[in-house]
Structures are given as C-alpha cells and as structure tokens.
Chain A
Amino acid sequence: MYLTVRDATKTYGTFTALDRVSIEIEKGEFVCLLGPSGCGKTTLLRLIAGLTDLDGGEITLEGATLSDLPARKRDFGIVFQSYSLFPNMSVAENIGYGLKIRGISAKEIAARVTELLELVKLPQMADKLPGQLSGGQQQRIALARAIAVDPRVLLLDEPLSALDAKVRATLRDEIRQVQRSLEIPTLMVTHDQEEALALADKIICMNHGIVVQAGTPEDLYHRPATRFVAEFMGSSNLLATEEVARHFPDLLATYPADKKAYLACIRPEQIAIKPAENGVATVQNISFLGNLQRLELDCPAGPLLVEIHGRSPCRTGDSVELSISTEACTWVLDDAEQTETTPA
C-alpha cells in the first residue's frame, strides 16, 4: 500500500469533521473522495497535504509516518478549486517555482517548464500573467505547477468546480490522461458523482465525517451499500421491504440474511416497461431528455422512476406492465434516520 490513512480524526470545537477515517491509495491509482459539502472530504485532503494537523490517527507514505512532516517537506502536489496561481509571477515562474525552491538550475527549470507547457497544451503562454488567462487555462497551469516537482502524491481539491461545463469536460479528460501517463498516485476531492465515476479507479464515498463506502465506480453505482450512496450516486427507486414483498415477491430471493433494515434499490434504467391494457402502473409524466426519456409511473408499490433509451413506447396516462429482474435489485441499508438526526 502506497499511502495509508488510518483512523484519521479531526474535530473543530464540538463538530467532528472526521471520525476515525481510514483510506488507502495504491501506486498509480486515481482515487476520488466523493460526498456532499461538509462531509469531511476536503478536511481529509488537507490532512494528507499537511495543511491541517491531525487530532488522532496516522498517515503513512510507503510505510513512513507523515505526521511530523510539514506540508513543504512532503513533496506533494496540490491543485485548488480557486486556481491559486501566484498573481505576481508569470506562467513560467509559477510552474518553475517548486523547482527553484529545490535549487534546480535555471536552464533545467526552463526546459522542464517548456515540457510541462506542452503537456498541458499551453505552449505559448510562458510569459503571460495569470490574470491574462481564462479559468480553464489557469487551472491547467496550476496542474503543471503541481506536477512540475514530480510529486509523490497529487492532491486535487475540486479542481473543476469553478469552470463552466464544457471546459470542465475537456479538462477532466486531460487530468485523467496526464495522471495515467505519469502514473502519479492521485487523490481528488469532488462533490460531482459524474466526475468521480468518469475519473476514478476507486471512489471513497463520505458523509458526516465517515467513509460510507469505498470501491470501484461500478461497485458504488450498481451495488450501493446504503441508502445514502444509492441516492447520492445517480437516481434510484428505493422501495420498502413490505412493498417489495407485496408487489415484487421474486426480488426477495436476494434479501440479506441479517436482521438490519434494508431497502430495495432499483436503478431507473433497469426497469423494463411495455404498454398493456389494465397494466399495474400508470404513466404520470414523461420528461424528454434527448437521448433518453424519464417516465414517472404511479404503481401500487409507490411512485417509480423509469428511464428508457430512444423513443418512449407509451404516452402520459397510458397503463403499463413492469418487469424487474432479480439482478437489478440491490438491497441497501437504510441509513436515512442517521442522516436526518446528525447535524450537517
């Protein structure tokens, strides 16, 4: 294991920002910390960077503890949401700053800066000041600045959140490409599940200062462990066990053996419908989303959301038959009460 965080704890007064959080990052891995605002993900990133002190627990890199090491000695690269380029330095000076601190010769720095500018596809910008660049360009330079020193770990704190949709998508792909080619272990904080799904080798989903679930994007989407993860990662239909027993008894085959409170989670695209006279459900509303249609159904088990690729076979008011395969149903722990009682 390359980077390990064990039982990290951080409190601010009576507020517990992180409660014994443990995570691991392997060499070359791209890990996303995903969660709503206030879940502790940024705190965790700052602890790893050394910008905030731990209250408890330990962070180790290749087996050596980082706890006593200030941020400037950790050899990490960091990119902030707010770009945070040094406004008084040119693009080249910004990128070369970490190398200058390390006492690298001006000639070597210049060569490396040119190389990095090529890498982030801004070769002409060396002499510009940060204020002359667009947001997307500034963030690319910030990325180049972070990787210039060949960091042991790359930390990205919501690097795409301040950018508009189109730039965000391009830069997202470029970050992934650069990370893959340099194989820098990377930890990115985001609240955007789509971003996390597209980028990460592993997603760590957090809420209220604890890790709710960690796994591959496929795991988290198709096999969410709790109601929180199911709702946070895309849309889902969550049905109470009694309703499932009454209306879709076949699905109970996979019901977990323990006695905890579970809900059935069925993703909207995994429900098949076909128009039928006297079907169990009625189409209440159809939203046209271009490549897909979102149907709101009224069925005895409660309202259901269904997504269909291409043309909808039915219209508002039609009655339809439903079919849900056993594999489409995941049983998730109902952590909703905990969500409501714990202050955000």
Chain B
Amino acid sequence: MSSIGQTTRPPLQRSPLRRSLDGDRLLTLACVGLPLIGLILFFAYPMVIVFLRSITVGDSYGIGNYTEVLGSAGFWRATRHSLTMGGATTVLSVFLGFIIAQGLYRCAFRGKWLIRSIIVLPLLAPSLVQALGLIFLLGRNGVISRALGVEIEIYGFWGLLIANTLYALPQAVMIIGAALVLLDARTYEAAEVMGASPWRQFRDLTLPAARFGILNAAFVCFTITITDFGNAAVIGGDYSVLATEIYSQVVGQRNFNMGAVVGIMLLLPTVISYSIERQAMKRQQAGQSTGQVAYQPSFAPLRDITMAAVSLVICAGIVAVIGIVVYASFVTLWPYNMSLSFKHYNITLAGGYSSLWMTIVVSLAAAVGGTVAVFLLGLGLRRLPQAIAQPIQILAAMPAAVPGMVLGLAYILTFNSTATPLYLLYGTAALIAIVNFYHYHTQGFLTVMTGFRQLPPALEEAAGSLGAGLGRTARDIVAPFIAPMLVSVFFFLFMRSMVTLSAVVFLTTPKLSVAAVTIMRLDDAGLTSQAAAFSTCVMAVVCVAVLSMKVTMALMGRRSRSKGAV
C-alpha cells in the first residue's frame, strides 16, 4: 500500500491576488455579463424605446397618441375581435386538447404514437400554413366546398378560429398532458378500493388535479392566439385583430407612434396572462410529491374506443389541413387542372429561394448563439449570490410575455434610427437572428435552467477540489451533463426561427427576407400554389431538423444508457 507514490509537492501557492480578483470570478462575471448585456441591448432597451415612442407626440411626450387610439372605432373593433377570438380559440383548443391528453395519458388504446406525432405538426410549420390549408379545403375553390357544392365564407371569424385552434392545440395537449401524467396511480387505487366509480374518480381526482394545467394551457392558448399574425393575415379577411392592426399602422400607414401604442395595448393582456400562467405553473410544481407511481390505464371498451375515435377525428382534421397544402403545391392549376407537377416550385417572386437559404442560415445562427448564451447565463447565475441572480432570472424570463409583433416593432424603432451605432445592425441577417433568439429567449433559458437544477452542486465542487477551474468544469462536467437540454434548446431555437413570422415581419427588406415573410408575400400576390410550395419546403427543412434531433437524442441516450442516477 505504501507503494502509492508520494509525488513531489510544489510549495503551497499563495494566491497573489485577492479572492475577489480571482480568474474564476472574472469568468463568472463574463458568463453572466455578456448574455446580460445582450438582454439589455436587444430586449430591455428596445422595449423602452417602443414605450417612449408610444408617448411621443411631435417633439415632446404626452398621452395624445393613446387618446387618439382609444378614441378610434377601428382600435376598439380590433380589440373586441382579438379578445373574442382569443376567448373562443382558448375554449375550443383547451376542450379538444383535454380530450386528446385524456386519451393519451388516461386511456388504453393502440396507436398513441400516431396521435402524438400528428398533434405537433402545426408547430413545425409557419402559422399561416393552417390558414392556407383551410383555404384549399373550405375556400371558394376548396376541395370540400366544391365537393359539397356549397359556398363557404372561410375568410373571417370562422376560418381564423379553426386556424388558430389548430395552432394552439399542440400547446394545450402538451401542457394538460404534463399535468395528467403527474397523477399518482396510488390515489386512484385508493379511490377504487373505497368504491368510487370511474366518473367520480374523473370528477373528484382528475379534474381538480389537472386544474392548474388547464388554467395554464388556457393562458398559453389565449396569448398565442391574440399575438399570432400569420393566420390573421392570410385568413382573417375583414376581421381585423390587434396584430393586423399594428401591421397596418406601421407598414400600411407608416404611423410608427400609433403602432407603438397598439403594441403597448397588446402587451397588457399578454403580460397579465403570462404572469398568471407562471404562478399557476409554480402551484402545479409545488403540488408534486416524490415517489409517485405512474398510472397504467387498463382497457375499458366504451371509454377507450370513444376517446380513440374522437382523437383520430381531430388528428384527421390536422392532417387534412397540413396535407392539402403539400398536395396543392404539386397540383398544376388548382382547381381546374388537378394533374401533378413541380411547376409551383419554380418561385417567380423576386429572390426566389434565396430567403429560404437565408432563413436556414439565420436559424442556425440564432440556435448556436442562443444556446451558447443561455448556457453561459445559467452557468454564471449558479455562482452568483441569490440577491443578484434573482433579478437577472426575472429579466431572462420576460421576453415570453412580449408578442412577436411588439418585439419586431420595438426593433424597427430602435435599430432603424441613426441615434445609436446599433443602426449598423439594421437590415442585416444578424439582427434577424438576434430578434428570433430574444423572441424565444424565455423558453430556451427555462429549459437550460431545468437542466442546471438537476446538476448536483457536489459534481462541480468535486471538480473544483480536484483543481479544475470554472472553464474546465464547464467543459468537462457541466456541458456533458446538460447536453440533452442544450440539444433541445438548439433545435427549439432553430425550428422556431425557421417558421416565425410575427417578430421578423417588420425587419425584412426587399433585399433580405425570410421564409415566412416570402410565403405571406406569395399569398398576397395571389400565387397561393407557390406559397404552398414554399411552405412545403420550409416544413421539409423543419422535419429534417426534427429527425436530426431525434437521432442526436437517441445517440446520446445510447452512449449514456447505462448511466444510472448519480
């Protein structure tokens, strides 16, 4: 045993610097500092600008813009429409979402993977694809309208309601599903033994336990509906909503201050809804206990066949709406010559496919830069005292409360002004990558923080005691540990950047466009089939991204399959 060599020991190093100037401390400051400067420059500052512009009247400040907007009938109509649409979509998508989630997690039938895969399809396409699909199905020349020989007025409330519901449904299913999956099988066994009927169990156990999930889903659906621009622009018709109102103020009438006012007004409901949602989420997490046993439903024919049928009908609707877009993109001349061709893939609008390549580059940049930024931020925040970390965390979680339209408007007001050197960014692809990242900053940040919370502090402490500095610990210990989170943040940012429209719609220029904007322009120009073809290309890219993510995750899972809990 004494053979263990006594390596010659260097004399104990006295650090020449005070602890406060230690290299690791500087690194920690850099980790937090750089992303924080980004957040301030590209989120907080533009938001301040948009607010200041909303109260700018002539050369001074005042509430004149607000009184003007609040006095206009158009604004109240758009507000009424937004709230009605938000409410109706929320009710419908939460109701349908609950049915599907209940089917997936509380019922026993085969083919759930199919429902799971179909339900997320709307997230993989630009939001205006639902609208396009509905036009091909139910529009004047739609497959269904022609087959039935009826004239359906799809533009307006009903078309928008269906499109928005399809868009919100995946979120509702995921959030409610997450709540249902947490329910402890033991409670149901106890209820069963006490003689509670399945209906009673549903009413007395499932519904109360899922109420925060339902509430949360409702707020999320409401927010994404009133902030969505793509569907409203394509299928809204005369049914103006706040998002289209901002667009027409800014792009149509070049009235930036009025646009800013409407943006601030749109911010109110989303901020309120987001803060309530965060509270609901905390309550749901607080209700969790450890050592739960997952619920394993057993087959109950009446319940399960009904639920499977209803779920399949909803899924068939989603597949029809998205599938018809892909199909229509190949049809020679809709609806007169239904033979298939690649004709529409020859994009005739100026720029052709350049915006698709640009979008891929921008999305990759947003994904790489964003993943690095949230990783550094999470890494640094762990090493800061709570009193400093807390406010930064709150700031980092704020962008989700800001609708994409408002953020985009804030950017154009901030960066298309020669007042600061930031002007240099205007009209560059970099700025589009940046706006995409900050638009989805919250989701990426929260995902990474979840990963950091699972990382035992003892691992970093052990590395530190072995002599590893922060940089080394981050590379060897932390990054491999939270790699799955980083991968999902990367692909999340990539996919959202590929399909988002609302934030970037103000930032594109004739020379620099992105895919979703091109689709909108093609549709505006009456080239609906080309819009479908372009949408199909975007969806293909996103599908490749989804597959890459699955493969990456599977490979990582195989590498660490044998790793147990530490």
* Interface residues of A, Cβ cutoff 8 Å to B: 49-51, 53, 61-62, 64, 67-78, 80, 82-89, 97-98, 101-102, 112, 115-116, 119, 129-132, 138, 142, 145-147, 149-150, 152, 155, 177-178, 181-182
Contacts and interface: CB of A to CB of B under 8 A. Distances in A.
Contact of B465 (A49, A83, A130): A49
Contacts of B462: 78, 80, 84, 86, 142, 145
A78 B461 contact: yes
A101 B13 contact: no
Interface of B: 1-7, 9, 12-15, 17-19, 22, 24, 456, 458-459, 461-469, 472, 476-477, 480-481, 560, 562-566
B458 A82 contact: yes
A76 B19 contact: no
A75 B458 contact: no
18 contacts: A50-B464, A67-B19, A70-B24, A72-B465, A75-B9, A84-B456, A84-B462, A86-B463, A87-B563, A98-B467, A101-B472, A131-B560, A132-B562, A145-B462, A149-B466, A150-B6, A152-B9, A181-B4
Nearest to B466: A98
B468 A130 contact: no
A305 B463 CA distance: 49
A210 B531 CA distance: 75
A84 to B, nearest CB: 4
B459 A84 contact: yes
Given A69-B15, A84-B459, A88-B560, 15 more contacts: A64-B12, A69-B13, A70-B464, A71-B464, A80-B462, A84-B461, A86-B462, A86-B476, A87-B481, A87-B566, A97-B463, A115-B3, A150-B9, A181-B1, A182-B2
Contact of B7 (A64, A68, A83, A150): A150
A101 B467 contact: yes
Given A119-B1, A119-B4, A149-B467, A73 B461 contact: no
Contact of B467 (A73, A115, A142): A73
A127 B465 CA distance: 23
A100 B481 CA distance: 19
Contacts of B476: 86, 89, 97
The 4 closest A-B pairs by CB, nearest first: A131-B563, A131-B564, A98-B466, A88-B480
Contacts of B18: 68
Contacts of B463: 86, 97
Contacts of B1: 119, 177-178, 181-182
**Interface-centre pick from A49, A84, A142, A149 (highest chain B CB count, 10 A):** A84
A162 to B, nearest CB: 11
Q: Secondary structure at chain B's binding surface: helix, strand, loop or mixed?
A: loop
Contacts of A142: 462
A116 B4 contact: yes
B480 to A, nearest CB: 4
Contacts of B562: 129, 131-132
Given A116-B4, A131-B563, A86 B467 contact: no
A97 B468 CA distance: 9
Nearest to B25: A70
A298 to B, nearest CB: 43
A73 B13 CA distance: 7
A68 B15 contact: yes
Given A86-B476, A97-B466, A75 B481 contact: no
A71 B564 CA distance: 28
B16 to A, nearest CB: 9
A49 B460 CA distance: 13
A172 to B, nearest CB: 17
Contacts of B469: 72
**Interface-centre pick from B2, B9, B461, B466 (highest chain A CB count, 10 A):** B466
Nearest to A67: B19
Given A83-B566, A88-B560, A102-B467, A68 B461 contact: no
A82 B456 CA distance: 9
**Interface-centre pick from B17, B472, B480, B563 (highest chain A CB count, 10 A):** B563
Contact of B22 (A64, A70, A86): A70
A40 B534 CA distance: 65
A302 B563 CA distance: 57
Contacts of A86: 459, 462-463, 476-477, 480
A77 B6 CA distance: 15
A122 to B, nearest CB: 15
A80 B461 CA distance: 9
Contacts of B3: 115
Contacts of A82: 456, 458, 566
Nearest to A76: B465
B566 A130 contact: yes
A125 B316 CA distance: 53
Nearest to B459: A84
A49 B22 CA distance: 17
Given A84-B458, A131-B565, A131-B566, A77 B465 contact: yes
A61 B12 CA distance: 9
A83 B563 CA distance: 14
A72 B458 contact: no
A101 B466 contact: yes
A75 B564 contact: no
Contacts of A87: 480-481, 560, 563, 566
A134 to B, nearest CB: 10
A50 B13 CA distance: 14
**Interface-centre pick from B462, B468, B476 (highest chain A CB count, 10 A):** B462
A72 B4 contact: no
B81 to A, nearest CB: 52
Nearest to B20: A68
B466 A51 contact: no
A67 B20 CA distance: 12
**Interface-centre pick from B461, B463, B560 (highest chain A CB count, 10 A):** B461
Nearest to B470: A72
A104 B114 CA distance: 54
A51 B458 CA distance: 10
Contacts of A138: 566
B472 to A, nearest CB: 7
A51 B564 CA distance: 26
